[in-house]
Each structure stands twice: as C-alpha cells, then as structure tokens.
Amino acid sequence: MQLTITLPDILPDQVTRVMTKVREFFAQEGIPVEIKPDAPKGDSWDNLNIEDIAVDTGITDFAENHDHYLYGTPKR
C-alpha cells in the first residue's frame, strides 16, 4: 500500500510542517508516503474549465430572466 497526498502549492508553511509530521508518522508504521505539490501551469483562471463546474438547472430562459430567478423580479 502507498499513500499519495497531492497538495496545492499555495498552502502556508504551517501545513507543510504538518505534512512532514504525517510523512514521519506513516514511515514509522512502514507505509510509504508520497507528498507532492499540485502545481497548475499558469494562472488558475487560465486553467478554469467551465464545463467541470457548470450545473444544469433545467431552466431554459435563465439568461434572459436571470433577475427573476435570482431576485424575484417579474419575468420579461
């Protein structure tokens, strides 16, 4: 068994120190641990894939009547 932990590279130093202790704990138990940074290339906004986070609401006129659905104003 191998434990792999992938962390974003923007975490503070405190988390890095905790992860070092986690690695030491599992090493004492004989479980190999690989902790690697998840470093996206470029700006995070450039790597954003809207298809991964889009939600199908089933509302066909949402773009036209978004104020109605968000704020309760009358439909157009």
Instruction: Output the six-digit token pair for 14.
Output: 């405190």
Model-level pTM?
Answer: 0.37
pLDDT digits (tens, 9 = 90+) for 5-32: 777 766 677 777 888 888 888 888 888 8
pLDDT digits (tens, 9 = 90+) for 38-52: 666 667 777 788 888
